[in-house]
Structure 1
């Protein structure tokens, strides 16, 4: 499993950006007579949470080892507290960056499958929100979406709930990201509106995997969203487990998500990310 740090110029953000990438090209199988299949890799675009950056997933979880076992390429960009959405007023087009430009760049650069069913997006907290809105918006690109302790905060932010005021520096911050808060619900920044639109238009639905800790402060929002999806008739997988808004929980559930994806059986080997004990 080759681990790379990549710098490239983004037209969506008009600057050089950095991301980490896990590319399953250096795995040696345990049996000498086994030969690795040469193929295009399935890809996961993995988004960090608030206050984080492209290094978070590697520092907080064992995703490198698990991706290697399943021959899964993983790309981890930075979201810079911008919630992975477009902001035409500031010129920061993070949604276009994640949903279009990053896909195009990685497919040109690495041996990746271009099939929808082989392309996935997931994230934690703020990144879970970003995975939901971009996975649903770019539903022709992504075949599956994973959200762990996702930032299901839109209704609370719009209503001025004090619950979310302490997460980021107040409503002025949210307005700088989402624009006029009175116009957010029902827009392409609204995960509920996006899901409703796909169901109403009978589009091919990305598969959904959602998880939240039983001690997480976002648990009520996850249970409400679970009921919303059930009432809408949008198929999904939902899990709750012990833990709060913390890396121990996300470490557990990124493995569950990878195991849930249509990747086939794990094949362990020796590589830079998973050495033989």
Structure 2
């Protein structure tokens, strides 16, 4: 197995960016099925490696894992298009996939390309798997920060606004009918005969304040026509829950990696 720390100049984000890449090269041959795995608020590309056993599990199962840094962006495009911050949705949904496929022996097939994340990264996985449904065949959402358009605005702007992140959305009511809202994107796919939903896995802890939002999005996806696997279990919004349920995600992905002779 190889653990690669990469940096490259992102045209989309207009700066040098970093990511960690796990390649199961010792036991398996490429092209590898690939999981793009997103971190949560205040974290970076090292979070999954530091607090879970994702490296071990990827090596054992033949999965490539790409873990980018998404800052506190919620993996959305910026609202000020002439600014210098760049579009994180476009970065995750297109540029990062294209760059890593050019650099590493990753599968180019939609059915082998997955997107996942926790908390803020769970929102990013949900939103961008829908936005870029032609790229991702499956998406995994763990304790997704999906409350912005699911809970009352008064709660979102107070208790649900840890670091001022609600401003990333540009006003909840103002942007409700835009591609910042997963429900809007569900309608786009549902009404376009040429597009298909990714499959979704969603899990949340029973003691997590975001539980109802995850239930709500899971139901909405299912009603829109997506295939959804939903799980709940004991736990709060922490790494103990995510370390356990990322194992559920890997089993659910049900990918096939070719072993070396």
Provide TM-score, normalisation by structure 1: 0.86
- The answer to whether the aligner puts 1:21 opposite 2:21 as a matched pair is yes
1:190 to 173, 176, 181: 181
Deviations 1:115-170 (A, max 9, x none): 10010000000000000111110000000000000011222677131575464234
Paired position in structure 2 for 1:9 = 9
User: Which secondary structure state, in structure 2, belongs to the residue aligned with residue 212 of structure 1?
Assistant: strand
Higher relative contact order (CA 8 A, sep 6+): 1
Residues in 1 aligned to 2:6 and 2:257: alpha-carbon distance in whole angstroms: 29
Residues in 2 aligned to 1:217 and 1:71: alpha-carbon distance in whole angstroms: 34
Paired position in structure 1 for 2:41 = 50
Paired position in structure 1 for 2:94 = 100
- The answer to whether the aligner puts 1:112 opposite 2:106 as a matched pair is yes
Identify the range of structure 1 (257-266 vs 200-209) with the bigger mean alpha-carbon deviation. Answer: 257-266
**Aligned-residue offset at 1:223:** 2.0
Q: Which runs of 5+ in 2 are unaligned?
A: none
2:207 to 215, 233, 242: 215
Deviations 1:223-268 (A, max 9, x none): 222332343333200000111101111011111111111323897x
Equivalent residue pairs, number: 256
RMSD: 2.1
Residues in 2 aligned to 1:60 and 1:163: alpha-carbon distance in whole angstroms: 29
Paired position in structure 2 for 1:145 = 139
Quick check: 1:158–1:181 contact (8 Å CA) kept in 2?
no
**Aligned-residue offset at 1:12:** 0.9
User: Which secondary structure state, in structure 1, belongs to the residue aligned with residue 89 of structure 2?
Assistant: helix
User: Which secondary structure state, in structure 2, belongs to the residue aligned with residue 249 of structure 1?
Assistant: helix
Counterparts of 1:1-277 in structure 2, within 5 Å, are: 1-27=1-27, 38-89=29-80, 90=83, 91-155=85-149, 159-161=153-155, 165=159, 167-170=161-164, 173-175=165-167, 177-202=168-193, 203-264=195-256
User: Which secondary structure state, in structure 2, belongs to the residue aligned with residue 239 of structure 1?
Assistant: strand
Quick check: 1:69–1:266 contact (8 Å CA) kept in 2?
no
Deviations 1:21-71 (A, max 9, x none): 1011134xxxxxxxx5x3311111000000100000011111111111111
User: Which secondary structure state, in structure 2, belongs to the residue aligned with residue 92 of structure 1?
Assistant: coil
Identify the range of structure 1 (87-96 vs 49-58) with the bigger mean alpha-carbon deviation. Answer: 87-96
* Residues 14/163 of structure 1: CA separation in 2 closer, same or farther (3 Å cut): closer
Larger Rg, first or second structure (1 or 2): 1
Residues in 1 aligned to 2:145 and 2:35: alpha-carbon distance in whole angstroms: 19
Residues in 1 aligned to 2:17 and 2:163: alpha-carbon distance in whole angstroms: 25
User: Which secondary structure state, in structure 1, belongs to the residue aligned with residue 22 of structure 2?
Assistant: strand
Residues in 1 aligned to 2:58 and 2:206: alpha-carbon distance in whole angstroms: 26
User: Which secondary structure state, in structure 2, belongs to the residue aligned with residue 189 of structure 1?
Assistant: coil
